[in-house]
Amino acid sequence: MTGSINYNDKLRVLVIAALIFSIVNAVIRPLVILLSLPAIVLTLGLFTLVINAFMLYLVTKIYPSFHLRSFWTAIVATVIIWIVNYLLIDILEFKREKPI
């Protein structure tokens, strides 16, 4: 993925892109999920990968300083985000003891 994501080597660009990504996920994603519900059910939830990649690609259109080379780069980045999110939740979540 080297060269596929361009952010001008500035941390500020990544932080702003992350803020825009969270706003896009909070505002636009629920509507897209609702409209694509038949596809999500038909693919057993795998279509949410495409929706999340589209949300990330939408950030590149809103904020040109953060650029993805292609939609496939957005899909790979989305998979990486999913894996990191899963690992962080698994590590940081409190382990609940089951009652006897």
Q: Is residue 46 part of a domain?
A: yes
In 3-state terms, what secondary structure has residue 68? strand
Site of tokens 């596809």: 39
Q: Is residue 44 part of a domain?
A: yes
The alpha carbon of residue 63 and the mean position of all alpha carbons in its chain are separated, in whole angstroms, by 15
If one counts the domains in the chain, the total is 1
Q: Is residue 42 part of a domain?
A: yes
The string of pLDDT tens digits covering residues 46-83 is 999 999 999 999 999 999 999 888 889 989 999 999 99
Site of tokens 């990486």: 80
Give the structural domain span for 26: 5-92
Lowest pLDDT segment from 34-43, 45-54, 87-96: 87-96
Percent of the chain exceeding pLDDT 70 equals 90
pLDDT at 97 over 70: no
The alpha carbon of residue 57 and the mean position of all alpha carbons in its chain are separated, in whole angstroms, by 9
What lies within 8 Å, CB to CB, of 84 at 6+ separation is none
Q: Is residue 56 part of a domain?
A: yes
Residues in the chain: 100
23 token code pair? 């706003």
